């Protein structure tokens, strides 16, 4: 019998995870199935335990269940613990192990696919929500010269800075001096609604890469602003999506699938 995996969400119909993991399984010769499970908003725990009891080996978790999944974990990686949420679970011997692959996926997309190592770079992340939390540890470990946060709520950004103090230095960006960054990332949810986060004047001065973590929306307002400011490299989050899935697959199966062809296939032109 094929090993069983799934993605949980509500809604979940839009998820591309089954297609991605089917490609990975075929490439790596892995015998598994992967399905979508739309759990009731107040019934994630019951749905997850039912999945485990019927032979589930692991799952991905998307909105709105990442915090619920984290709360159910019996063991977790450092990435999950620091993020305070999980997007990947695996099950064995009665354990529910949690991992967060979002930040690893984002870092690999920037460094491997876009060819821009973070070491020695000045990096600015807009936002302080779940996506940003997941990126903090991998980004600090990559050795940037400066890693800054700029968020509408300075207190929330300060809390993340303090939380990560043992792992590396995070600075809070002064909107009056927000220029000279090599990489600027939009980690807010603004692009999902076609909006743009507040962008201080001169933000993109000297910027080599503008990256929007949202994917499949084309040239978002954030990226349009970057283009108008003369930023030479623009990217959305499709590479992050595929790379975080590849990290989850490798964590489950012990083999790392290729990602470049799938990223190319899934890329929506930035226009």
84: left (phi over 0), alpha (psi -120 to 50) or beta: left
185: left (phi over 0), alpha (psi -120 to 50) or beta: beta
Counting Cβ atoms within 10 Å, is residue 47 exposed (0-12), middle (13-18) or buried (19+)? middle
Under 8 Å between Cβ of 78 and 71: no
Residue from 16, 36, 66, 256 carrying the catalytic annotation: 66
Q: Which residues contact 131 (CB under 8 A, 6 or more apart)?
A: 102, 187, 213
β-pairing, 32-38 with 3-9? parallel
Dihedral of CA atoms 225, 64, 261, 31 in degrees, nearest 10, equals 180
> Is 57 annotated in the active site?
no
Which sequence positions are flagged as catalytic? Answer: 66
């Amino acid at each position: 019998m094929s090993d069983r995996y799934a993605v949980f969400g509500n809604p979940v119909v839009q998820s591309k995870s089954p297609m991605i993991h089917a490609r990975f399984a075929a490439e790596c010769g892995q015998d598994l199935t992967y399905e979508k499970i739309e759990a009731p908003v107040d019934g994630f725990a019951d749905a997850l335990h039912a999945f485990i009891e019927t032979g589930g080996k692991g799952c991905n978790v998307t909105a709105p269940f990442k915090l619920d999944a984290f709360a159910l974990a019996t063991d977790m990686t450092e990435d999950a613990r620091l993020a305070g949420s999980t997007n990947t679970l695996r099950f064995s011997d009665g354990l529910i192990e949690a991992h967060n692959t979002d930040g690893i996926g984002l870092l690999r997309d920037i460094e491997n696919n876009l060819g821009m190592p973070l070491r020695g770079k000045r990096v600015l992340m807009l936002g302080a929500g779940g996506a940003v939390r997941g990126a903090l540890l991998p980004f600090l470990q990559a050795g940037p010269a400066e890693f800054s946060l700029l968020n509408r709520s300075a207190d929330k950004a300060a809390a993340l800075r303090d939380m990560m103090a043992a792992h590396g230095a995070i600075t809070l960006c002064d909107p009056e001096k927000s220029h000279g960054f090599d990489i600027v990332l939009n980690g807010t949810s603004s692009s999902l609604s076609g909006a743009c986060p507040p962008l201080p004047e001169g933000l993109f001065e000297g910027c080599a890469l503008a990256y929007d973590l949202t994917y499949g929306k084309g040239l978002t307002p954030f990226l349009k602003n970057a283009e108008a400011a003369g930023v030479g490299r623009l990217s959305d989050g499709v590479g992050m999506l595929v790379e975080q899935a590849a990290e989850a697959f490798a964590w489950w199966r012990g083999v790392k699938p290729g990602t470049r062809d799938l990223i190319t296939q899934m890329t929506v032109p930035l226009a």
